[in-house]
Structure 1
Amino acid sequence: MKKNDVILMGIILIVGLIALFAMKMVQSNDQSELQVLIKHDGVVIQSYPFTEKTDETYVYEEDGERNVIQIKDGLVSMIDADCRDQICVKTQSISNNGEIIVCLPHKVTVEIFSDQAVDDVLDDIAD
Protein backbone atom coordinates (compact mmCIF):
# COMPACT_ATOMS: atom_id res chain seq x y z
CA MET A 1 0.00 0.00 0.00
CA LYS A 2 1.20 3.45 -0.83
CA LYS A 3 1.38 6.37 1.54
CA ASN A 4 -1.45 8.20 -0.26
CA ASP A 5 -3.73 5.16 0.09
CA VAL A 6 -3.23 5.14 3.86
CA ILE A 7 -3.92 8.88 4.06
CA LEU A 8 -7.10 8.49 1.97
CA MET A 9 -8.35 5.63 4.16
CA GLY A 10 -7.65 7.70 7.28
CA ILE A 11 -9.59 10.68 5.89
CA ILE A 12 -12.54 8.45 4.95
CA LEU A 13 -12.52 6.89 8.42
CA ILE A 14 -12.46 10.29 10.14
CA VAL A 15 -15.28 11.66 7.95
CA GLY A 16 -17.35 8.54 8.65
CA LEU A 17 -16.86 8.85 12.41
CA ILE A 18 -17.80 12.54 12.33
CA ALA A 19 -20.97 11.72 10.34
CA LEU A 20 -21.89 8.95 12.77
CA PHE A 21 -21.38 11.24 15.76
CA ALA A 22 -23.47 13.99 14.12
CA MET A 23 -26.31 11.55 13.39
CA LYS A 24 -26.33 10.33 16.99
CA MET A 25 -26.41 13.90 18.31
CA VAL A 26 -29.33 14.85 16.06
CA GLN A 27 -31.19 11.68 16.99
CA SER A 28 -30.71 12.27 20.72
CA ASN A 29 -31.95 15.86 20.37
CA ASP A 30 -35.11 14.68 18.58
CA GLN A 31 -36.01 12.32 21.43
CA SER A 32 -37.49 15.14 23.54
CA GLU A 33 -39.98 16.05 20.80
CA LEU A 34 -41.31 12.60 19.93
CA GLN A 35 -44.91 11.41 19.98
CA VAL A 36 -46.34 7.91 19.80
CA LEU A 37 -49.23 7.71 17.34
CA ILE A 38 -51.66 4.80 17.48
CA LYS A 39 -53.67 4.48 14.29
CA HIS A 40 -56.47 2.23 13.12
CA ASP A 41 -56.95 1.94 9.38
CA GLY A 42 -54.79 5.05 8.91
CA VAL A 43 -56.78 7.23 11.34
CA VAL A 44 -55.11 8.51 14.52
CA ILE A 45 -57.01 7.12 17.51
CA GLN A 46 -54.56 8.09 20.27
CA SER A 47 -51.29 9.96 20.72
CA TYR A 48 -48.90 10.15 23.65
CA PRO A 49 -45.75 12.16 24.30
CA PHE A 50 -42.73 9.88 24.14
CA THR A 51 -40.01 10.35 26.74
CA GLU A 52 -37.99 8.07 28.99
CA LYS A 53 -40.49 8.82 31.78
CA THR A 54 -43.66 8.03 29.80
CA ASP A 55 -45.49 5.08 31.33
CA GLU A 56 -48.74 4.37 29.48
CA THR A 57 -50.70 1.32 28.45
CA TYR A 58 -53.38 1.70 25.79
CA VAL A 59 -55.95 -1.01 25.02
CA TYR A 60 -57.58 -0.78 21.59
CA GLU A 61 -60.76 -2.82 21.24
CA GLU A 62 -63.17 -2.72 18.33
CA ASP A 63 -65.36 -5.34 16.66
CA GLY A 64 -63.94 -8.10 18.86
CA GLU A 65 -60.34 -7.16 17.99
CA ARG A 66 -57.93 -6.31 20.80
CA ASN A 67 -54.44 -4.80 20.85
CA VAL A 68 -52.52 -3.69 23.94
CA ILE A 69 -49.75 -1.12 23.42
CA GLN A 70 -47.27 -0.29 26.17
CA ILE A 71 -44.99 2.74 26.43
CA LYS A 72 -42.48 2.20 29.22
CA ASP A 73 -38.78 2.83 29.96
CA GLY A 74 -38.20 4.57 26.62
CA LEU A 75 -39.64 1.68 24.59
CA VAL A 76 -42.92 1.16 22.76
CA SER A 77 -44.22 -2.36 22.26
CA MET A 78 -47.34 -4.30 21.39
CA ILE A 79 -47.60 -6.55 24.43
CA ASP A 80 -50.81 -8.38 23.50
CA ALA A 81 -53.08 -8.90 20.52
CA ASP A 82 -55.73 -11.45 19.71
CA CYS A 83 -54.76 -11.83 16.04
CA ARG A 84 -53.76 -15.29 14.86
CA ASP A 85 -50.22 -14.66 13.63
CA GLN A 86 -48.95 -12.57 16.60
CA ILE A 87 -46.28 -10.89 14.42
CA CYS A 88 -47.01 -7.51 16.03
CA VAL A 89 -46.43 -8.95 19.50
CA LYS A 90 -43.20 -10.63 18.40
CA THR A 91 -41.94 -7.41 16.78
CA GLN A 92 -39.03 -5.81 18.64
CA SER A 93 -39.81 -2.75 20.76
CA ILE A 94 -39.33 0.59 19.05
CA SER A 95 -37.76 3.77 20.40
CA ASN A 96 -36.61 6.01 17.52
CA ASN A 97 -38.27 8.52 15.23
CA GLY A 98 -39.83 6.83 12.20
CA GLU A 99 -40.03 3.32 13.65
CA ILE A 100 -43.32 1.44 13.44
CA ILE A 101 -45.13 -1.67 14.69
CA VAL A 102 -47.94 -3.03 12.51
CA CYS A 103 -50.80 -5.40 13.31
CA LEU A 104 -51.95 -6.14 9.78
CA PRO A 105 -55.02 -8.28 10.62
CA HIS A 106 -56.44 -5.50 12.85
CA LYS A 107 -55.12 -2.60 10.70
CA VAL A 108 -53.44 -1.07 13.78
CA THR A 109 -50.13 0.77 13.58
CA VAL A 110 -47.99 2.23 16.35
CA GLU A 111 -45.55 4.86 15.11
CA ILE A 112 -43.00 7.20 16.63
CA PHE A 113 -43.00 10.67 15.05
CA SER A 114 -41.45 14.02 15.82
CA ASP A 115 -43.83 16.75 17.02
CA GLN A 116 -43.57 18.57 13.70
CA ALA A 117 -44.65 15.47 11.77
CA VAL A 118 -47.53 14.91 14.22
CA ASP A 119 -48.72 18.51 13.74
CA ASP A 120 -48.67 18.01 9.97
CA VAL A 121 -50.65 14.75 10.24
CA LEU A 122 -53.24 16.28 12.58
CA ASP A 123 -53.59 19.31 10.28
CA ASP A 124 -54.24 16.97 7.36
CA ILE A 125 -56.93 15.18 9.37
CA ALA A 126 -58.59 18.49 10.31
CA ASP A 127 -58.74 19.53 6.64
Structure 2
Amino acid sequence: MKIFKKMDFVIIVVLITFSFIPNLIYSNVVSKNNKNLYATIKVNGKVHTTIDLPLAFEKRLSISTDHGNNTIVINSNEVKILDADCKDELCIKQGSISKVGKTLICLPNELIIEIKGDEYDSSDDLILSH
Protein backbone atom coordinates (compact mmCIF):
# COMPACT_ATOMS: atom_id res chain seq x y z
CA MET A 1 0.00 0.00 0.00
CA LYS A 2 1.39 3.36 -1.05
CA ILE A 3 1.13 6.25 1.36
CA PHE A 4 1.90 8.91 -1.26
CA LYS A 5 0.80 8.95 -4.84
CA LYS A 6 2.71 10.55 -7.69
CA MET A 7 0.36 13.54 -7.78
CA ASP A 8 0.93 14.14 -4.05
CA PHE A 9 4.61 14.81 -4.70
CA VAL A 10 3.77 17.19 -7.54
CA ILE A 11 1.40 19.15 -5.30
CA ILE A 12 3.98 19.31 -2.49
CA VAL A 13 6.70 20.57 -4.85
CA VAL A 14 4.37 23.21 -6.32
CA LEU A 15 3.34 24.43 -2.85
CA ILE A 16 6.93 24.64 -1.65
CA THR A 17 7.91 26.55 -4.81
CA PHE A 18 5.05 29.02 -4.39
CA SER A 19 5.97 29.59 -0.75
CA PHE A 20 9.23 31.27 -1.86
CA ILE A 21 7.58 33.73 -4.27
CA PRO A 22 6.52 36.35 -1.64
CA ASN A 23 10.07 36.47 -0.26
CA LEU A 24 11.55 37.01 -3.72
CA ILE A 25 9.06 39.76 -4.56
CA TYR A 26 9.53 41.49 -1.19
CA SER A 27 13.33 41.44 -1.33
CA ASN A 28 13.35 42.86 -4.88
CA VAL A 29 10.86 45.63 -4.04
CA VAL A 30 12.71 46.64 -0.87
CA SER A 31 16.12 46.71 -2.57
CA LYS A 32 14.81 48.84 -5.48
CA ASN A 33 13.14 51.38 -3.18
CA ASN A 34 16.28 52.08 -1.16
CA LYS A 35 18.75 54.50 -2.67
CA ASN A 36 20.83 55.49 0.37
CA LEU A 37 22.29 52.25 1.66
CA TYR A 38 24.41 51.92 4.77
CA ALA A 39 25.85 49.13 6.87
CA THR A 40 25.24 49.07 10.60
CA ILE A 41 27.74 47.17 12.73
CA LYS A 42 26.49 46.21 16.18
CA VAL A 43 28.59 44.79 19.00
CA ASN A 44 26.83 43.36 22.07
CA GLY A 45 23.53 44.73 20.70
CA LYS A 46 24.76 48.34 20.53
CA VAL A 47 25.60 50.25 17.34
CA HIS A 48 29.37 50.37 16.98
CA THR A 49 29.76 51.88 13.49
CA THR A 50 27.59 52.99 10.58
CA ILE A 51 29.11 53.14 7.08
CA ASP A 52 27.46 54.72 4.04
CA LEU A 53 27.41 52.57 0.92
CA PRO A 54 28.67 52.37 -1.75
CA LEU A 55 32.29 53.17 -0.94
CA ALA A 56 34.72 54.36 -3.61
CA PHE A 57 37.53 52.35 -2.03
CA GLU A 58 37.99 49.17 0.00
CA LYS A 59 37.77 49.64 3.74
CA ARG A 60 38.87 47.19 6.45
CA LEU A 61 37.68 47.36 10.02
CA SER A 62 38.99 45.40 12.97
CA ILE A 63 36.37 44.92 15.65
CA SER A 64 37.53 43.69 19.05
CA THR A 65 35.06 42.51 21.66
CA ASP A 66 35.40 40.81 25.03
CA HIS A 67 34.67 37.55 23.22
CA GLY A 68 37.01 37.84 20.21
CA ASN A 69 38.09 39.74 17.09
CA ASN A 70 36.59 40.15 13.61
CA THR A 71 38.00 41.74 10.46
CA ILE A 72 35.34 43.25 8.20
CA VAL A 73 35.91 44.24 4.56
CA ILE A 74 33.67 46.69 2.70
CA ASN A 75 34.01 46.81 -1.11
CA SER A 76 31.75 49.19 -3.03
CA ASN A 77 28.35 48.10 -1.67
CA GLU A 78 29.29 44.65 -0.35
CA VAL A 79 30.21 43.79 3.22
CA LYS A 80 31.83 40.56 4.41
CA ILE A 81 33.66 39.18 7.40
CA LEU A 82 37.17 38.35 6.25
CA ASP A 83 38.61 36.94 9.46
CA ALA A 84 37.27 35.87 12.84
CA ASP A 85 38.79 34.06 15.77
CA CYS A 86 35.62 32.16 16.66
CA LYS A 87 35.85 28.36 16.54
CA ASP A 88 33.32 27.55 13.82
CA GLU A 89 33.93 30.58 11.53
CA LEU A 90 30.35 30.39 10.25
CA CYS A 91 30.34 34.18 9.93
CA ILE A 92 33.10 33.96 7.31
CA LYS A 93 31.29 31.19 5.44
CA GLN A 94 28.15 33.37 5.14
CA GLY A 95 29.88 35.31 2.36
CA SER A 96 29.10 38.91 1.47
CA ILE A 97 25.88 40.90 1.75
CA SER A 98 24.71 43.83 -0.35
CA LYS A 99 20.89 44.01 -0.18
CA VAL A 100 18.69 45.75 2.36
CA GLY A 101 17.67 43.53 5.24
CA LYS A 102 20.52 41.04 4.83
CA THR A 103 22.69 40.32 7.86
CA LEU A 104 26.00 38.77 8.83
CA ILE A 105 26.14 37.38 12.35
CA CYS A 106 29.02 36.15 14.49
CA LEU A 107 27.31 34.78 17.61
CA PRO A 108 30.44 33.86 19.59
CA ASN A 109 31.80 37.42 19.22
CA GLU A 110 28.36 39.06 19.55
CA LEU A 111 28.71 40.90 16.22
CA ILE A 112 25.85 41.75 13.84
CA ILE A 113 26.23 43.53 10.50
CA GLU A 114 23.07 44.63 8.67
CA ILE A 115 22.47 46.46 5.39
CA LYS A 116 19.83 49.15 5.75
CA GLY A 117 18.37 51.94 3.62
CA ASP A 118 16.78 55.32 4.32
CA GLU A 119 13.36 54.34 3.00
CA TYR A 120 13.24 50.97 4.80
CA ASP A 121 10.64 50.96 7.57
CA SER A 122 11.96 48.76 10.36
CA SER A 123 8.64 48.94 12.25
CA ASP A 124 7.49 45.98 10.13
CA ASP A 125 10.19 43.91 11.82
CA LEU A 126 8.37 44.25 15.13
CA ILE A 127 5.22 42.78 13.62
CA LEU A 128 7.09 39.84 12.13
CA SER A 129 8.99 39.07 15.33
CA HIS A 130 5.93 38.72 17.58
TM-score by length of 1: 0.66
Give 5+ residue unaligned stretches, structure 1: 1-15, 121-127
Question: Which residue identity is paired with 1:27?
Answer: S
Give the number of the structure whose residues are more often helix, by fraction.
1
Structure 1 residue ranges, 4+ long, deviating more than 4 angstroms after superposition:
23-26
Offset from partner CA, 1:45-75 (integer Å, 9 cap, x none) = 0010011535321110133610011110321
CA RMSD of aligned residues (A): 2.9
Distance in structure 2 (CA, Å) of the matches to 1:47 and 1:24: 23
1:97 corresponds to = 100
Question: How many pairs were matched up?
Answer: 100
1:27 is matched with: 31
| Residue matched to 1:110 | 113
Query: Is the contact between residue 100 and residue 116 of structure 2 (CA under 8 Å) also seen in structure 1?
Result: yes
Aligned equivalent of 1:81, options 79, 84, 97:
84
Question: Structure 1 residues 29, 54: closer, same or farther in 2, change over 3 A?
Answer: farther
**Whole-Å Cα distance in 2 between the matches of residues 44 and 116 of structure 1?**
19
Task: Give the TM-score normalised by structure 2.
Answer: 0.64
Q: Which amino acid aligns with 1:70?
A: V
The DSSP-based 3-state class of the residue aligned with 2:71 is strand
1:89–1:26 Cα change, 3 Å: closer
Secondary structure of the corresponding residue to residue 56 of structure 2: coil
Is this contact kept in 1: 2:55–2:74, CA < 8 A? no
CA, structure 1 residues 36+109, in 2 after alignment: closer, same or farther (shift >3 Å)?
same
Q: Which residue of 2 aligns with 1:47?
A: 50
